[in-house]
Amino acid sequence: MAKAICKSIKKKGLIEYSQVYVSSPFSKNLDSWEKLGANVFTDNAVVAKEADIIFLAVKPHILQGAVKTISEVPWRSQIKDKLFISILAGITIADLEQMLSKFDRSRVVRVMPNTPMLAGEGCTVYCPGSTVTTEDLNVVQTLLEVTGMCQVLPEHMINAVGAVSASGPAFVYLFIEALSDGGVRMGLHREMATRFAAQTVLGAAKMVLETNKHMGTLKDEVCSAGGQTIAGIHALERGGVRGVVMDAVEAAALKAAELGKLTKK
């Protein structure tokens, strides 16, 4: 996810890779970043010192350890006036601010991005912390709006949004694959079936966004009386597709909340 954010911002010309500092305890994880031209380190504290904006892009359960490695350096006092942007699922702003309070004048913004930002069609939301400035928010908005849709929202909504937009692409890829499989089953070549399936989903999504019509209305416009589409819809409804998708979103949202609780243990 960190690489998707960085690449999408670079693609829009807002940064150069030479301005990017990346750390990982495993040098192998840094190879691809080094090839891009980023500055790479195995020490988190070096990145925290050099960067003005710090993206926290680790697994939730190792966040405390990562912050600890930064806070224990002898020159911790030099890590100040930093804007921390967290993309971690489930970790609340209150928890982040408590962990990062060791650094003078630190500010926190919680962000939930998704991978389609690489294609310029991202869906990103963010929640400002209690000490974030107007300038900070302008910076965050400028960085993320070039990746697609971007808006601020209350924190209590972020797990639900993450389940829809951050996890959603995986659900949609599964659906595209299933459409492609259906095409293959009915005689299409795989490459052709996948291209048609992906373009169909893209077109349908644009219809929702650009017409502002209810999805049920758009569906009905495709379903002619006694036609092939209503026969397919019947099969989907018989399989409980709506309930299954709703269950998937619920499971993802509840998992995000669970990850936040695990971090406190």
Q: Are strands 122-128 and 148-152 parallel, antiparallel or unpaired?
A: parallel
Binding site annotation covers 44?
yes
- Would you tell me how many other CB atoms lie within 10 Å of the CB of residue 195? 14
Residue type, 10: K
Binding site annotation covers 39?
no
Rg value, the chain, Cα: 22
Nearest CA-CA partner of 140 in 173, 109, 175, 105: 109
Binding site annotation covers 71?
no
Phi, psi of 52 (to 5 degrees): -85, -35
Binding site annotation covers 66?
no
Binding site annotation covers 58?
yes
Binding site annotation covers 206?
no
- Would you tell me how many other CB atoms lie within 10 Å of the CB of residue 91? 24
Q: Is the distance from CB of 106 to CB of 80 less than 8 angstroms?
A: yes
Annotated binding site for NADPH: 44
Annotated binding site for NADP(+): 24, 57-60
Annotated binding site: 24, 44, 57-60
